[in-house]
Each structure stands twice: as C-alpha cells, then as structure tokens.
Amino acid sequence: MKNKEKSLMEEILNREKSNGKNGLLDNDDTLLNSTVKNLPEAKKTEQLQNNYFKNSEIYKTDSEIKNLNNLNTIEKVKKNENKKETETIKKIFSKKETTESDEEIKRKKIIKKFFKKRKLQVLSFTPYIRTEIEIRNIMKDVIIALFPAIISSALVYGTRALLLIAFSVLSAVVTEKLFSKYFLNDNNSVHDLSAVITGILLAMTLAPLTPLPIVIFGACMAVIFGKLIYGGIGKNIFNPAVIGREFMTVFFSSTMSSGAIWFSQELLQLSGIKFFTGFTNSPFTNYLDGLLLTSSGSVGSYSVFSLILGGLYLLLKNRISWHIPVSLFATFFIITIFGNIPVSIGGLLLTGIFMATDMPTSPSSAPGKIYYGIMLGLIIGLLSMFGIKNEILSYVLLILNPFARIINKVFRPVVFGYDVKEEILKQSEKMILLTLGIFAFAIIFLGFHKIGAMPYLVYLYILISTLNLISSKNKNKIIHKNLKNAI
C-alpha cells in the first residue's frame, strides 16, 4: 500500500510538472480535480467535498468583493451628488446674500442722502416721526415767530409784560427739569425747548397785571398736568398752556375774573400807533391802526400784524399748515354775520396759529385739519350763544383736543386697493356721528360750567392723571425687574 501511494504521488507530481510546463495548470482546483480520478472511492468523495467547499468559498468571497466594490462606487456617486448639491445651494445663497447686501447698501445710501438733507438722529412721538434735533429746530422757529408779539407786548406794557413772560418761562423750565428728572428719569427733556414755548404761550393768554405768584403756579401746572403727566412731549391730550390757564381760573377764580388785572393807566407805555391815520383819517385807517397795535386784551393779542407775521414765518418754514387757521378764521367770520361774538381778532389769531396747530393735540391729515378748524369755529359760536366770554378760547380747545386722535382715524387716507366711493361714504357716516358727538360733549361741558362744576372736573382730572402716572410708573418698575431677571 505504501508503495502504491508513493507511486501515485510521484505520478501526480510528474503530471503537475508537465501541466505547468505546458501552461495547463491554472490553479489548485485543476490539480485537485486531476488527482481525484486516481484516488480510491472513499478518498474520492472526501476530496470532491473539499473541492466543492473550496470552490463555494472562493465564489462567495468573489461575490462579496464585487458587492463591496459596487457599494463603494454607489457611495462615491452619492457623495459626489451631495457635494454638487451643497455647492449649488452655497452658490444660490451666496448670490442671494450678495443681492441682499447690495440692496441694503442701496437703501443705506438713500437713507443717508435723505437724512443729510434733514439732519435727523433720534426718533420722537406721533403724529409725525421726528427727531430730537428737528423738534428743537421746530421749537426755535415757534419762538422766533412769537418774537414780534413779545416785542409788541413790551411796547404796550414795558417791563411788566416782559416780567410776566420771563417768570412763566422760567417756572415752566425749572418744573420740567425737576419733575422729569425725579419722576420720569429723563435729564434731557428741557433741551427740546417745549417748556419755553409752554411758558410763552401761557403768558400770552394772560392779562398784563396777573400776579406773578399765580403765573408761576399756572406755568408749573401747565407742565406737570398738561404734558409730563402723560409721559412727555408728543403724548399729551390737551394743550399744556390751556391746562395751566384753566388751573389758574379754578384755584384763583376771584383774581382771574377781576377787571383790575386787564388794564392799568400807570403801567401803560403805549396805547397805540397812528401809522395809517397819518396819511388819511378815516374809520378804515383807524381800524388798521388798531390791528397794528392796541392796548386791550391779553398780552399776546396786542398786535394782529405781529401775529400774522409770525404765522407767515411758520408757514414759510413749513412748521404749520394753512388748513386749521384758514378753516377756523373762515368759519368764525361766517358766524359773525349772524351775530356778535365776544372774541378779539388778536386772541383768535393767537389760538388759531400757535395753539390749535399744536402737533400732539391736532389732526395730522389735511381733511382732518380742515374739519378740526371748522369745528373750532362752530364751537366758538355755540359757546358765545350760551354767554361765555373770557374762557371761550380756552374752552374750545379743551372740548376739541380729546377728539384729535378720533379725527385722525375718521379722516384716514384711502388705502390703494379699496373702493374710493365706499370708503368716502363710510368716512362721511363716521364724520356725521363724530360731529354729533362733539356737539353733545360741548353741551355737557357747558352744563358743567353753568352749574359751577368746573372746579370738580379739574379735581377729578388731577386725581385720574396722578393715578395713571403711578400705575404707569409701577408697570415700568415691573418691566425693569423682569428685564434684570432675564439678563
């Protein structure tokens, strides 16, 4: 047996050598298959099984390698596609960013050009978006416009009129400085010069011989309860100067209603100027001289020409519009056809040009301003019918000031896309209801005046406004605490 196996092994080796020389032996499978024929049957089966398993394992490894190669290629393709997608997305976003940045640059350039023309820096309150610098410039122009009236008052009553104005302005400025610092935490509220105008306008509505302590009281009340109680400039509902004057009439009624404070021959410096009568003496020239300068009325109403000059200056500087004064004067002169109204032309001009055009307490749209001026004239006529004389110009502003914001809503411009006819019909319906509401409120106001309840209205106003101030201050404290906790 051993000899046979040796012979078989020798034959296998010889065949392997011969096949290797002839190039017939490719792998181990051919060698094994060739040797199987010469082996016994038991060994044949074992050898065949071994060859089968080897072949199957080799096939498996080949298929696995192929599958792995396919997976690698698919992953590579996917990665390439993802890279391309990300690159395209990046390109799109970069293009958008560049376009957005270009648009922002263009906007900034336009805004810079716009603000270079108007020198604006910090935003302010309604009805117009304005800045601290522009508010200061507006107030400067109003002060300049009031200078002719101040000079004419000095010509009539000399230093007495100037002292009245100076005390009123000084007390208004000091009050605003202290109150805004300790209650509103604002140290720069005086810089907008609104307190100066409040003091001047209050003095302009007073009699020349009003006691100075009462003037100081009125100026303080005008600033506190007319403006600062609402939070500062632009937030007030009523004209501050009118509020100050009303406080003076309530708390010092006997002095304010006395005729002794309106005229003094001793302090009178100049009763009038005879300019037009120097050419020809006639009733018309006497009337013109009365418009130029007179010694009757309040401190700000001595010269109609000076008030007209100030109004023209404000119109040229675009600080006021013509709508309120013109509509008020036109309505007033139409009403005077039907009866005499106890209002001086100087007082009417002072109210129409400088007080009714106060931005926070007057409408902002042109139709609203015209309506507001007409209603001022009609309410003046209504008040004169009920026999009110000295307080007529103060009352008309107190009645109509709260309706300014409602008038803005009623006379809102028609937005593009809406039917103009339908919107005009809606506005006309609202206007009728608003007019009825204003007249009803004016009649109720007159009723309080007739029964002597005006002081109680002032007391109620003080109570409500102080409670609102306290509640708003507490809310601000809570907000500040929440912000600190959040930080």
Q: Does residue 356 lie within any of the structural domains?
A: yes
Q: What is the C-alpha separation between 226 and 247, in angstroms, rounded?
A: 10
The secondary structure element, H or E, covering residue 85 is: helix 41-118
Q: First vs last Cα of the chain: how many Å apart? A: 99
- Residue 21 has a pLDDT of 46
Asked if residue 391 lies in contact with residue 431, where contact means CB atoms within 8 angstroms, the answer is no
287 in the same domain as 262: yes
383 in the same domain as 356: yes
* Alpha-carbon 133 to chain mean position: 16
- Residue 484 has a pLDDT of 62
Q: Does residue 385 lie within any of the structural domains?
A: yes
Sequential DSSP letters for 5-23? HHHHHHHHHHHHHHHHHHT
- Residue 270 has a pLDDT of 82
The secondary structure element, H or E, covering residue 471 is: helix 454-486
325 in the same domain as 286: no
Q: Please tell me the total count of domains within the chain.
A: 3
288 in the same domain as 199: yes
Q: Does residue 34 lie within any of the structural domains?
A: yes
197 in the same domain as 271: yes
Domain range for 46? 2-82
Q: What is the C-alpha separation between 249 and 257, in angstroms, rounded?
A: 8
328 in the same domain as 310: no
Asked if residue 164 lies in contact with residue 299, where contact means CB atoms within 8 angstroms, the answer is yes
User: Distances from the Cα of 325 to the Cαs of 328, 355, 413, 446, in angstroms?
Assistant: 5, 10, 21, 24
Query: Cα torsion at 68, 71, 76, 82 (round to 10°)?
Result: -150
Residue 131: strand pairing partners: 123
- Residue 233 has a pLDDT of 82
Q: Does residue 200 lie within any of the structural domains?
A: yes
Q: Does residue 476 lie within any of the structural domains?
A: no
Asked if residue 397 lies in contact with residue 242, where contact means CB atoms within 8 angstroms, the answer is yes
Q: Does residue 121 lie within any of the structural domains?
A: no
Q: Does residue 458 lie within any of the structural domains?
A: no
| Sequence-distant (≥ 6) Cβ neighbours of residue 101 within 8 angstroms | none
Asked if residue 164 lies in contact with residue 172, where contact means CB atoms within 8 angstroms, the answer is no
255 in the same domain as 325: no
Structure tokens at 413: 């411009």
- Residue 442 has a pLDDT of 94
- Residue 97 has a pLDDT of 62
Q: Does residue 145 lie within any of the structural domains?
A: yes
Structure tokens at 167: 């005390």
- Residue 45 has a pLDDT of 55
Structural domain ending residue among the three candidates 266, 283, 317: 317
252 in the same domain as 136: yes
- Residue by residue, pLDDT tens for the chain (487 residues) are 545 445 555 555 565 555 444 444 444 444 444 444 444 555 555 555 555 555 555 545 555 555 556 666 776 767 777 777 777 776 666 666 666 666 677 666 666 665 555 444 443 334 444 455 578 889 999 999 999 999 999 999 989 999 999 999 999 999 999 988 887 777 777 888 899 999 999 999 999 999 999 999 999 999 999 998 888 788 889 999 999 999 999 999 999 988 888 888 888 888 777 777 777 777 778 878 788 888 888 999 999 999 999 999 999 999 999 999 999 999 999 999 888 888 889 999 999 999 999 888 999 889 999 999 999 999 999 999 988 888 899 999 999 999 999 999 888 876 666 667 777 888 889 999 999 999 999 999 999 999 989 999 999 999 998 888 788 777 766 666 666 666 5
Q: What is the C-alpha separation between 324 and 374, in angstroms, rounded?
A: 8
